[in-house]
Copies of this chain bind each other. A is one copy, B any other.
Amino acid sequence: MAEIVGGFIMPHDPLLFVNPKKKERDHLIGAYSEIRDKVSKSGATKAIIFGADHYILFGPRCLPQFLIPTGELHGPIDRLPGVGDSPIASDPGFAEYLVGHAHQSGFDVSVARDLGVDHAIGVPAQLALPADGSVKTVPVYMASGVAPYVRLQRAYDFGRMIGDAIAKMPVDESVVLIGSGGISHWVGTGEMGRINSEFDRKVLDCIVSGDATPLLSMTDEEIMREGGNGGMEIRHFLAVMGALPAGRGEVLAYEAWDGGVTGLGFAEILPA
């Protein structure tokens, strides 16, 4: 029987890699390595990474609410210093199983048969998973960057459905879940550069307590105002929390890093 052995949240801020202001960042890059070690020790065989498209992969002709690529993977296609566009170990059969379970459970997930992933998936896949390809990745793209946004409760319920899919898998697998996203950040708006540590703490507190209610009761307007349009990515954290209900968390690193524009939080969520 398959089971979830751990959950993580982490950012994918491109500026952390471009590092235009040449700021100290080893401790942040180190947080990815710390998670990679934890994933290795957990014996994980599969990873599901929840991320956003930033209007790079999907154009105005097809904007999905949820999308799972079911083919081979590589990325990030938007290459970053230290994070090249290279193959990502995939498992089309597992991806198709999740799509089938989603459809059967009333989630109308779109699919991609051929997709190079962007930094939202590529950064965690390349930095937080073992480099030997032993952990096969399934990405889940959620509409967190382009409206209409996935509803918060729906993001949480999607995670619950994924947890159910894993519990019902007839084979032995150990799965880690990754919510990929910055906390507060403004992208392409006049506020860009602002980081709201108060919002970031509120989000991290929910992850630590394992109680998603305060996040689920926010409106999108509140998130936009306090966490920016980038803050809409908390949907990815909610998906992980939905799959690990009542799982308490631990913050591994947090910084309102002045080398970039994003509240950077790394945390672990343990199964209850």
Which positions in A face B, CB cutoff 8 Å? 57-58, 60-67, 71, 99-100, 103-104, 106-115, 148, 150-151, 154
Contacts and interface: CB of A to CB of B under 8 A. Distances in A.
A-B pairs, 7 with minimum CB distance: A62-B62, A65-B108, A60-B113, A108-B108, A60-B114, A64-B110, A61-B112
A103 B154 contact: yes
B154 A114 contact: no
Nearest to A66: B108
A221 B170 CA distance: 24
Contact of A63 (B65, B66, B110, B148): B110
B62 A110 contact: yes
25 contacts: A57-B61, A58-B61, A58-B62, A60-B71, A60-B112, A60-B113, A60-B114, A61-B114, A62-B64, A62-B67, A62-B112, A63-B111, A64-B64, A64-B110, A65-B103, A65-B109, A66-B108, A99-B148, A100-B148, A103-B151, A103-B154, A104-B151, A108-B109, A108-B150, A111-B148
Oligomeric state, in copies: 2
Contacts of A114: 60-61
A51 to B, nearest CB: 15
Contacts of A108: 64-66, 107-109, 150, 154
A110 B107 CA distance: 12
Contacts of A100: 148
Interface centre among A62, A63, A111 (most CB of B within 10 A): A62
Contacts of A104: 151
